[in-house]
Amino acid sequence: RSGGEKFEFQAEVSRLMDIIINSLYSNKDIFLRELISNASDALDKIRFLALTDKEVLGEGDNTKLEIQIKLDKEKKTLSIRDRGVGMTKEDLIKNLGTIAKSGTSAFMEKMQTGGDLNLIGQFGVGFYSVYLVADYVEVISKHNDDKQYVWESKADGAFAISEDTWNEPLGRGTEIKLHLRDEATEYLDEFKLKDLVKKYSEFINFPIYLWASKEVDVEVPNNEDESSDEDDTLDSETSTSDDEDKDEDADEEEGEKSKTKTVKETVYDWEVLNDIKAIWLRSPKEITEEEYVKFYHSIAKDFSEEKPAAWSHFTAEGDVEFKALLFVPPKAPQDLYESYYNANKSNIKLFVRRVFISDEFDDLLPKYLNFLKGLVDSDTLPLNVSREMLQQHSSLKTIKKKLIRKALDMIRRIADQDPDEFKGIDKDTEKKSEDDEKKGQYAKFWNEFGKSIKLGIVEDADNRIRLAKLLRFESTKSDGKLASLDQYISRMKPGQKNIFYITGTSKELLEKSPFLERLTKKNYEVIFFTDPVDEYLMQYLMDYEDKQFQNVSKEGLKLGKDSKNKDISESFKDLTKWWKTVLSSENVDSVKISNRLDQTPCIVVTSKYGWSANMERIMQSQTL
């Protein structure tokens, strides 16, 4: 169509479209998932607005919150239509072309390094996947605040927008019309579409209809005798009432020529393709593992086919009632810690009585648990208030508290079910889980999200001990594997009062540290902390199971009782005094006789409450 106001795509968007068009990616199916997901988002938005203003829904068909798919084999078009919030002219210009989202470049980078196009939805550019299958796309949209417009593009760097004076009025919502490429006409097949909707859109909370054909038996007048009987039989409905209609038998008995005959006819009607009972409302006992995994993929927009590491589906009762479904993803996103202190985005969707409210609620989980995916659906929260009001609601505190507990339980279960994990001295001899699938899962989790647990210990005083249980590290006795604090305690020497640790840049360097000489000789276990965050961590984690932590490079190291110490200190008093004056009090606090060394003659130790040498190093590198 010529005419319309012309716009150029923002440069990055244009490049993205080129990549998509020229992609040899074989799984082109994903475009349908992205379009249905957008339709569902738009329906969520209008339903949310309707909570505080019923008027926005309008009347008649406009109130039907549904998605319709229609195909036209002759014109080779496929249309996906929703009665969602719609887009104004300005929305069309901004959302579909002129403003690049932050995910645009991130996605292209991923593509260049062999990333999977399947993940497009995660980057907020899913719409453009339409160009995997179409060479010309029209977006017809009607928003309550504007007229109906058509956006159209052949992905040649530009798009056009026109006021829509020729299509049927939509009432409200959006219709995406794909003019399919010749090699993508397989999407004109109803069976294919039904399959795809089942596969990808099982958990969409609005009904999805397909304009589908059906062969039906229709009775038509038997024209052989050119009868002019008034026919009430053309209506296909009469064919179903045959059973009750016993007159037919009578007719035949009379031997009269039948007035009608049955023929096959193709009729079209809307066929619903999905079952919209929300999975989280069902009883966990009735949900299969496969269903949970599929639901995870859909809620996390993670179509990598990997299973989530764990999930927790529960109902909270009491003052605040809610259902929740939480997942630990199999992998951490690359940027999980990059914007840790600025981004406040939890990945938990909030529903109130089945109505989607927001996926940008800050305060459903603390920052350190932002890696979890899932949802909360509460009956206790009010429905007809703004997001801002809801954000202040006192119930949220209770919800958050319970979510944290359940989340930490869920993470702990990964360890409990992992045959490779230490189970405590008693349990170890009882029975070991032999579940191969769970083997090594906790180490994998730790590798991906260990840092989050450490940040949790720093930030969440209430749950510090629970989080400390989840902590893993290497030590002088862990033999290249990961150990836990419980495991450390189980192999403490009799009379040992402290949990020893040392901090530094790498395990290899620390292993050679003179600070370890005597400890290892005396068979004490020392934890290696080599992540910069560990220094912060240890400022907050003072003790565990009544055992104080002791940095072995700091003052105050005690290795059991050593009665000879006092005499030796006495006899070397002159030497230590002399040394102190030589070094001057600017450089050292004190010079002491120590029993921490074995081969090395002397060593610089930091004071108990000061920074460790490693911390000094970290602080220095940060100010540079």
Binding residues vs ligand ADP (CB under 6 A): 34, 38-39, 41-42, 82, 84-85, 87, 95-96, 124-127, 174
The least CB distance from residue 40 to ligand ADP, in Å, is 9
The least CB distance from residue 35 to Mg ion, in Å, is 8
The least CB distance from residue 43 to Mg ion, in Å, is 13
Which C-beta is closer to ligand ADP: that of 34 or that of 535? 34
Residue 483 DSSP symbol: B
The least CB distance from residue 41 to Mg ion, in Å, is 6
The closest alpha carbon to 304, from 291, 312, 294, belongs to 294
Which DSSP string do the residues of 155-220 spell out, in sequence order?
SSSEEEEEE-SSSPP-SSEEEEEEEE-GGGGGGG-HHHHHHHHHHH-TT-SS-EEEEEEEEEEEEE
Here the tokens at position 615 are 């911390």
Which C-beta is closer to ligand ADP: that of 43 or that of 376? 43
Here the tokens at position 270 are 């809307």
Give dist(CA 378, CA 385) in Å, integer. Answer: 14
The least CB distance from residue 409 to ligand ADP, in Å, is 32
Amino acid at 44: D
622: helix, coil or strand? Answer: helix
Which C-beta is closer to ligand ADP: that of 161 or that of 516? 161
CA triplet 178, 181, 183: central angle to 5 degrees?
Answer: 135
The closest alpha carbon to 169, from 149, 194, 199, belongs to 149
419 makes contact, choosing from Mg ion, ligand ADP, none, with CB < 5 to 8 Å by partner type, with: none
Instruction: Report the binding-site residues.
Output: 34, 38, 82, 87, 95, 101-103, 122-127, 174, 387
Which helix (H) or strand (E) element contains residue 121? none
Q: Is 463 in the site for Mg ion (CB under 5 A)?
A: no
Residue 69's alpha-carbon distances to 153, 195, 211, 224, 230, in angstroms, are 21, 13, 6, 41, 38
Of 37-45, 430-438, 559-567, 584-592, which segment contacts Mg ion by CB under 5 A?
A: 37-45
The least CB distance from residue 119 to Mg ion, in Å, is 12
Q: Is 129 in the site for Mg ion (CB under 5 A)?
A: no
Which C-beta is closer to Mg ion: that of 125 or that of 482? 125
Which C-beta is closer to ligand ADP: that of 68 or that of 513? 68
The least CB distance from residue 295 to Mg ion, in Å, is 18
Place of tokens 């008693």: 426
Which C-beta is closer to Mg ion: that of 38 or that of 88? 38
Which C-beta is closer to ligand ADP: that of 38 or that of 463? 38
Of 32-40, 334-342, 531-539, 564-572, which segment contacts Mg ion by CB under 5 A?
A: 32-40
Chain position whose Cβ is nearest to Mg ion: 126
Which C-beta is closer to Mg ion: that of 86 or that of 221? 86
The least CB distance from residue 103 to ligand ADP, in Å, is 8
Q: How many residues form the binding site for Mg ion (CB under 5 A)? A: 2
Here the tokens at position 150 are 């058509």
96 makes contact, choosing from Mg ion, ligand ADP, none, with CB < 5 to 8 Å by partner type, with: ligand ADP
39 makes contact, choosing from Mg ion, ligand ADP, none, with CB < 5 to 8 Å by partner type, with: ligand ADP
The least CB distance from residue 156 to ligand ADP, in Å, is 19
Give dist(CA 200, CA 118) in Å, integer. Answer: 12
Which C-beta is closer to ligand ADP: that of 19 or that of 492? 19
Here the tokens at position 536 are 């912060």
The least CB distance from residue 128 to ligand ADP, in Å, is 6
- Parallel, antiparallel or unpaired: strands 77-82 and 173-180: antiparallel
Residue from 84, 86, 97, 126 touching Mg ion (CB under 5 A): that is 126
Residue ranges in 10-60 assigned as alpha helix (H): 11-21, 30-52
Give dist(CA 363, CA 83) in Å, integer. Answer: 31
Q: Computed from CA positions of residues 50, 55, 56, 57, in that sequence, does the dihedral angle turn out positive or negative?
A: positive
Instruction: Report the binding-site residues for ATP.
Output: 34, 38, 82, 87, 95, 101-103, 122-127, 174, 387
The least CB distance from residue 25 to ligand ADP, in Å, is 17
| CA 37 distance to own-chain centroid | 15
Contact (Cβ atoms closer than 8 angstroms) between residue 232 and residue 247: no
* Cβ contacts of 95 within 8 Å, gap of 6 or more: 87, 127
Contact (Cβ atoms closer than 8 angstroms) between residue 387 and residue 356: no
First to last CA, the chain: 59
Which C-beta is closer to Mg ion: that of 38 or that of 475? 38
Here the tokens at position 141 are 């949209």
Give dist(CA 451, CA 445) in Å, integer. Answer: 10
Amino acid at 465: I
* Number of CB atoms found within 10 A of residue 214's CB: 11
Which C-beta is closer to Mg ion: that of 176 or that of 615? 176
For 439, counting Cβ atoms within 10 Å of its Cβ (0-12 exposed, 13-18 middle, 19+ buried), the class is: middle
Residue from 9, 31, 36, 38 touching Mg ion (CB under 5 A): that is 38
Positions touching Mg ion (CB under 5 A) are 38, 126
